[in-house]
Amino acid sequence: MGTDNQTWMHEFILLGLSSDWNTEVSLFILFLLMYLVTVLGNFLIIVLIRLDSRLHTPMYFFLTNLSLVDVSYATSIVPQLLAHFLATHKAIPFLSCAAQLFFSLGLGGIEFVLLAMMAYDRYVAVCNPLRYSAIMHTGLCSRMAIVSWVGGSINSVMQTAITFQLPMCTNMYIDHISCELLAVVRLACVDTSANEVAIMVSSIILLMTPFCLVLLSYIQIISTILKIQSKEGRKKAFHTCASHLTVVALCYGMAIFTYIQPHSSPSVLQEKLISLFYAILTPMLNPMIYSLRNKEVKGAWQKLLGKFSEFTSKLKT
């Protein structure tokens, strides 16, 4: 009977953040502006890296992938969220819900693995600077990126498949801003222990394992930096890792808090805020972090703006 009901159900209702019209209009304007900044910021980072040959290095190759993942992740959630702010019937079709879960879950997993790959790149840059070019060659970087994308995608396919095979019965109200994994699993009218185990296993593989690799990389990096005699040398070595370390702290913290212990998960409001953090705030902040804290990126911006000024001056004359 559960399966029949699940087949009959053709849409879900997302309860979102608020039911007050004025609040929803205000949130629509705020999140629209943040989304536009996110898209523009990440697009400019990708273009900048492509145009400036000085940024054609492994670190910026991974940053290009990270920006692509960030803007895609935001796009998988925010446009639907914005549409629902102005809609009276906040429904999402069954297949659209499954697609949203697939893309958001996949892109989230890809980002965590990418951050581990970037940590390894920083480890080689600081601990083996003389062999950096030989170790981090184009072939290895490409394979590392492929592993990130394939690993996240495989996990997403598996999680989406086993989640939407659950009988939902007549539970059609998702108390969330999007079709988030834990929120959808809670709709099931059967025992979801197997799904919770699957979530735990995938969290260990795609979240805790990369996090441990990041941790090991930075233990080695910090140990190497502390051995540098020159204060200026230590500062320069740490500066090469500062941006990545900031992004790591932002991305891993809340995800570990949310997914490692589904039985003792945070409140629904906390889950919504965490989802907003990943869908809007993190993708918007990442380009800013790499732009403001990185001399090479700032130099590339200045060079690009200089060329743009010259071009506009020629047009005026």
pLDDT at residue 265 is higher than 70: no
Instruction: Calculate what percentage of the chain has a pLDDT beyond 70.
Output: 88
pLDDT digits (tens, 9 = 90+) for 192-215: 888 888 888 888 888 889 989 999
Instruction: Calculate what percentage of the chain has a pLDDT beyond 90.
Output: 36
pLDDT at residue 5 is higher than 60: no
Mean pLDDT of the chain: 84
Q: Give the residue from 71, 18, 23 showing the smallest Cα distance to 44.
A: 71
Q: Is 91 helix (H, G, I), strand (E, B) or coil?
A: strand
Q: Give the residue from 241, 4, 21 showing the smallest Cα distance to 120.
A: 241
- Domains of the chain (ranges; CATH) run 21-254+273-303 (1.20.1070.10)
CB atoms within 10 A of CB 128: 13
Q: Give the residue from 33, 11, 198 showing the smallest Cα distance to 92.
A: 11
> Residue range 162-170: average pLDDT?
83
Backbone angles phi, psi at 85, to 5 degrees: -60, -35
Cβ(213)–Cβ(46) below 8 Å: no
pLDDT reported for residue 258: 61
- Distances in Å between the Cα of 277 and the Cα atoms of 29, 65, 230, 251, 298 are 17, 20, 39, 9, 26
pLDDT at residue 59 is higher than 80: yes
pLDDT reported for residue 317: 64
pLDDT reported for residue 7: 45
pTM for the model stands at 0.86
CB atoms within 10 A of CB 113: 24
